[in-house]
Amino acid sequence: MWKIQNVILFFALFELNASYLVNIMSIEKNKLFSIIRKKLPQNVLFTEEIADVLDISYDASYRRIKGRTSLTLEETVALAKHYKISLNELYNLQSDNSLFIDKRSYDNTFESLIKFYKEYSCYTQYFTKNHDTTIIYSAKDIPLYHFKTNNLYWKFRIYVHLNFLYSDANNKTEFKNFKPSSLIIEEVNKFRSNFEKANITDIWEDTTINSSLYQIFYFFKIKLIEKDEALLLCDEITLMIKGIEKAAAQGFLNSNKEKKFNLYYSKLLNLNHTIFF
Give per-residue pLDDT as tens, 263-275: 998 877 666 777 7
pLDDT band of 134, cuts 50, 70, 90: confident
Supply the pLDDT for residue 1. Answer: 34
Q: Which of the residue ranges 73-77, 137-141, 177-181, 238-242 would you say has the lowest mean pLDDT?
A: 73-77
Closest Cα partner for 200 from 141, 243, 244?
A: 244
Beta strands 274-276 and 134-138, pairing class? antiparallel
More confident residue, 207 or 101: 207
% of the chain exceeding 70 in pLDDT:
77
Supply the pLDDT for residue 56. Answer: 92
On whether the pTM is more than 0.75, the answer is no
Supply the pLDDT for residue 151. Answer: 86
Q: Which of the residue ranges 25-29, 61-65, 220-224, 235-239 would you say has the lowest mean pLDDT?
A: 25-29
More confident residue, 163 or 95: 163
More confident residue, 260 or 268: 260
More confident residue, 48 or 100: 48
Residue 8 has pLDDT above 70, yes or no: no
Supply the pLDDT for residue 170. Answer: 53
Residue 98 has pLDDT above 60, yes or no: no
Structurally, what CATH architecture does the domain formed by 18-90 represent? Orthogonal Bundle (1.10)
Q: What is the mean pLDDT of residues 19-39?
A: 66
Supply the pLDDT for residue 73. Answer: 72
Residue 159 to residue 235: CA distance in whole angstroms: 18
For the ranges 13-27, 62-76, 79-93, 200-214, the maximum mean pLDDT occurs at 200-214
Supply the pLDDT for residue 10. Answer: 31
Radius of gyration in angstroms for the set of CA atoms belonging to the chain, rounded to a whole number: 22
Supply the pLDDT for residue 236. Answer: 94
Give per-residue pLDDT as tens, 150-159: 889 989 988 8
Give me the residue spans of the domains in the chain. 18-90, 104-276
Residue 21 has pLDDT above 70, yes or no: no
pLDDT band of 12, cuts 50, 70, 90: very low
Q: What is the mean pLDDT of residues 46-72?
A: 89
Give per-residue pLDDT as tens, 183-236: 888 888 888 888 888 889 998 988 888 888 999 999 999 999 999 999 999 999
